[in-house]
Amino acid sequence: MKVAFFSSKSYDRQSFEAANADYHHDLTFFDAQLNSNTAALAAGFPAVCKFVNDIADAATLEILASNGTRLLALRSAGFDQVDLKRAAELGIKVVRVPAYSPYSVAELAVGLVLMLNRKLYRAYNRVRDDNFSLEGLLGFDLNGRTVGVVGTGKIGMIFAQIMQGFGCSLLGYDAYPNSQFEAIPNARYVSLPELLASSDIISLHCPLMSETHYLINPNTIEQMKPGVMVINTSRGGLIDTAAAIEGIKSGKIGHLGIDVYEEEEALFFQDLSNTIIQDDTFQLLQSFPNVVITAHQGFFTQEALCSIATTTLTNITDFEQGQPLKNEVVYQPSPSTKALV
């Protein structure tokens, strides 16, 4: 099947070309981000493959459909950039990679915790500068701390298990609790207000949907412990960045670690080191000494890339052969699946 890849990088080409030896699809890689200005590149491609910051809003989907695209294959788990309702109306099937090494994202979240609680990012730079002072590097033990996990699905569960290994107590909040979470020693479900009020570290692992948009906002920040650490490896839109900045300035948020940012489309996955960044909010966030930002690299491990390529190509083959689409994202007009575009 002819497949047009958008936002493709060298590592996409490598992982997909290697995996495609077993699938024999006809892959074309475009550097361009998918949006209504670039969708015409996919003319004549029945399948389009998009990544997290490619935009599949109504206008883009209409162009794809009019040019013959019938399958939108997401090489990601999250589908918040897809107008599922419009896709369904246009007869475009949407498939995704629901799970690909959830360890990759969970372990990065733990990495952000360790960076922040021991100020490793500052220590690394100091020693390289022959500054061996410990002033300002005082950390805290994770052992005995309370960790709040918002969203206890595949990634949240692994994050919780790792943090339990550090000797932390776990509080979970999930719209759809699962019994496995409470099987972890020292883990129990609580209401969101209790999680906010009792956690030393809060890590977000729920999807971005209308009801989770700005889950972290002035009201929820107000409910948190002073000096709380907030970690977000899920989607940028879960945090109202302006509110987080106010929380950092007031001292309410003591540490912020993010792998995702609500306006990341204009920044992430590209080298802007010779560019004047126009996003003042991002620049302000970067300037704080207690904030660590990574550029959406949670998924970026060898195991995850291999799994993403294999599952995506299987999804495409299933569609081509008229097989059931086990990884289809079906539009359901209920609040829990209402996608944000």
Residues that bind ligand NAD (CB under 6 A): 77-78, 99, 102, 105, 150-156, 173-176, 205-208, 211-212, 233-235, 259-260, 296, 298-299
Which residue is closest to ligand NAD by CB?
A: 153
Identity of the residue, 41 or 308, whose beta carbon is nearer to ligand NAD in the bound complex: 308
Evaluated on CA atoms 192, 196, 201, 204, the torsion sign reads: positive
Q: How far is the CB of 193 from ligand NAD (least distance, A)?
A: 13
Q: How far is the CB of 183 from ligand NAD (least distance, A)?
A: 15
Half-sphere exposure of 327 (CA within 13 A, CB side): 26
**φ/ψ of residue 298, rounded to 5:** -55, -40
CB atoms inside a 10 Å sphere around CB 134: 9
Which sequence positions are flagged as catalytic?
235, 264, 296
- Which residues 6+ apart lie within 8 Å of 12 measured at CB? 5, 29, 51, 75
Angle between helices 102-117 and 302-320 (to 10 degrees): 150
Identity of the residue, 1 or 112, whose beta carbon is nearer to ligand NAD in the bound complex: 112
Query: How far is Cα 91 from Cα 94, in angstroms, rounded to an integer?
Result: 10
CB atoms inside a 10 Å sphere around CB 339: 23
Identity of the residue, 33 or 234, whose beta carbon is nearer to ligand NAD in the bound complex: 234
Cβ pair 174, 227 in contact under 8 A: no
In terms of Cα–Cα distance, which of 42, 87, 32 is closest to 69?
42
Identity of the residue, 53 or 69, whose beta carbon is nearer to ligand NAD in the bound complex: 53
Q: How far is the CB of 4 from ligand NAD (least distance, A)?
A: 22
Query: How far is Cα 95 from Cα 102, in angstroms, rounded to an integer?
Result: 18
Q: How far is the CB of 273 from ligand NAD (least distance, A)?
A: 22
End-to-end CA distance of the chain: 28
Identity of the residue, 140 or 269, whose beta carbon is nearer to ligand NAD in the bound complex: 269
The 3-state DSSP class for residue 95 equals strand
Query: How far is Cα 206 from Cα 186, in angstroms, rounded to an integer?
Result: 21
Q: How far is the CB of 216 from ligand NAD (least distance, A)?
A: 12
Q: How far is the CB of 274 from ligand NAD (least distance, A)?
A: 26
CB atoms inside a 10 Å sphere around CB 58: 14
Instruction: Tell me the H-state helices in 186-231.
Output: 192-198, 218-222
Identity of the residue, 63 or 187, whose beta carbon is nearer to ligand NAD in the bound complex: 187
Identity of the residue, 60 or 294, whose beta carbon is nearer to ligand NAD in the bound complex: 294
Q: How far is the CB of 127 from ligand NAD (least distance, A)?
A: 29
